[in-house]
Structure 1
Amino acid sequence: MASEIYATAPLKIQDWAPEDRPREKLLQKGAATLTDAELLAVLIGSGTRNTSVVVLAQHILKTNGNSLQELAKRSVQELQRFRGIGTAKAIAIVCAMELTRRRTDEPCRKKELVNSSSKAYKLLQPDLTDKSIEEFWILLLNRANYLIKKIQLSSGGTSRTIVDAKFLFRLVLDHQAVSIILAHNHPSGNTTPSTADIALTNSLDKAGKLLDIAVLDHIIFTDRNYFSFSDEGLL
């Protein structure tokens, strides 16, 4: 008859099967598969000599009624009363709870529909108003013309800025945009496009068509008004 095996000490995390370890489980299956105790254990990082970090996390949660809302009320000093929780770990828990609170309070950001030159101009006003040098920006749009992101590509002198087409379209592809709006400012206040502006627009439009990326417009921005290549039938 085989002799029975008794556990002489709590298993350490490194003694667990890899798929049962919280960090490995997160990497393999995603954060949503972890229990509250496992998530807290990852946050804490380590337990004590006689207590694994997961057991420590379970103890902390149990003491707070297994409620994250109750845990969020605990101060750094209160958390430090748990054996194995020092100042750094307590601060990490408090900060995580505060981030969760702020995320809940944060209003959902409304996606901007960019379906006209005036919408594009308005979006660029915070970025290009009162600039003394030229800057070149792009608005990245999805298939429904909602803004994905606006990005400054370059800045230059008072009369021109350089645009790297390869870098521009790499950004477009990286963000999975299907169309773009080009934009740059004229510090002089003159909205008339230069010969270089027209040549650049045509060049980028041709390059975009090869990649199946639509160049919808090119806005020449000034503080008072703007010029739209699309509105003027140049795109």
Structure 2
Amino acid sequence: MKKLNINQWAEEDRPREKMMALGAQGLSDAELLAILIGSGNTEESAVDLMKHVLADCNNNLNTLGKMTIHDLMQYNGIGEAKAITILAACELGKRRQMEKPEERPDLGTATKIYNHMHPVLQDCDVEEFWILLMNQNHRLIKKLRISHGGITEVSVDIRIIMREAVLANATILAVCHNHPSGNLRPSEQDNQLTYALQQACNLMRIHLMDHVILTDGAYFSYHETGRI
């Protein structure tokens, strides 16, 4: 029976397409390694070749990581470049195990938001609008500048904010921007934006925690003043 090239497989069985559909956790070790090497040999697809290699390692990735470049090059279809790629991936996996989890700051109050964002915004001479995406424990997932504006105002697209929140799987959202003038009083545009953003968050079941306006040395919080 003639061997099928991976490109001739059903789309849902191809490693790259399968990863796009199911995520990395949906692939076997051989399929993940096949993505790295890209191709097999005249008798084996990349997946079958890596199944062969793993079988010789008792299907143990630690054993695979102890192989040498020379060991891997004994397999038909694995040259120096592929062998180096496989061992580099094994080394990255080892280093990841030794890494400490990233410390995510707690931004559960306006004061914490101010302390976190003040170093970012204190020297800005124009308004910048930032979003702070958090998990349910108020731990920061991601912060992102949404807009860079003028001296007295900044344009913000709520659709972009909500898209970023959904993509980050955030359950809590806070927003902040600076007033280079030093005036903490929110503008009518600030009020309208906050109201519209709260409506969008309610629709998406994301908690809008606060809108904080910063100056160099002080802040205004919509939450602390009862306006959210």
TM-score category, normalised to shorter length: 0.7 to 0.9
What is the total number of aligned residue pairs between the two structures? 226
CA distance in 2, matches of 1:66, 1:207: 49
1:28-39 equivalences in 2 (<5 Å): 36-39=29-32
Task: Give the TM-score taking structure 1 as reference length.
Answer: 0.71
Q: Tell me what 2:146 maps to.
A: 153
Aligned equivalent of 2:3: 12
Q: Report how far residue 228 of structure 1 moved.
A: 1.6
Match for 2:213: what amino acid?
I
Residue 91 of structure 1 deviates from its aligned partner by 3.0
2:198 to 205, 214, 224: 205
1:110–1:158 distance in 2 versus 1, CA, 3 Å: same
Q: How far off is 1:39 after superposition?
A: 4.1
Question: Higher mean Cα deviation, 206-215 or 107-116?
Answer: 206-215
Please name the residue that 2:79 is paired with: 86
TM-score, normalised to structure 2, is 0.72
CA gap of 1:150–1:65, structure 2 versus 1, over 3 A, is: same
Q: Among 110, 116, 123, which residue is 1:117 paired with? A: 110
Retained in 2: the 8 A contact 1:22–1:42? no
CA displacement at 1:34 relative to structure 2 = 5.7
Compared with structure 1, are the counterparts of its residues 86 and 184 closer, same or farther at alpha carbon in structure 2 (3 Å cutoff)?
A: same
Aligned residues of 1:22 and 1:41 also touching (Cα < 8 A): no
Q: Structure 1 counterpart of 2:146, which letter?
A: L
Question: Deviation of residue 71 (structure 1)?
Answer: 2.7
Q: Distance in 2 between matches of 1:219 and 1:23?
A: 45
Q: What's the counterpart of residue 15 of structure 2?
A: 23
Aligned mates of 1:151, 1:18 — CA distance in 2: 39
1:96-107 matches, within 5 Å, as 96-107=89-100
Distance between the aligned counterparts of 1:177 and 1:232, measured in 2? Answer: 24
Structure 2 unmatched ranges of 5 or more: none
Unaligned stretches of 5+ residues in structure 1:
1-8
Deviation at 1:132, TM superposition (A): 2.9
Question: Percent of aligned pairs with the same residue?
Answer: 40
* CA distance in 1: counterparts of 2:16 and 2:166, whole angstroms: 32
Q: Secondary structure at the match of 1:101?
A: helix
Structure 1 residues 169 and 30 mapped into 2: Cα distance closer, same or farther (>3 Å)? closer
SS class of match (2:123): coil
Question: Are residues 210 and 159 of structure 1, via their aligned partners in 2, closer, same or farther at CA, if it must alter by over 3 Å?
Answer: same
Report if aligned partners of 1:47, 1:54 keep a CA contact under 8 Å in 2. yes
What's the CA shift for 1:156? Answer: 0.8
Shift of 1:110: 4.0
Deviations 1:83-104 (A, max 9, x none): 3212331232123213312321
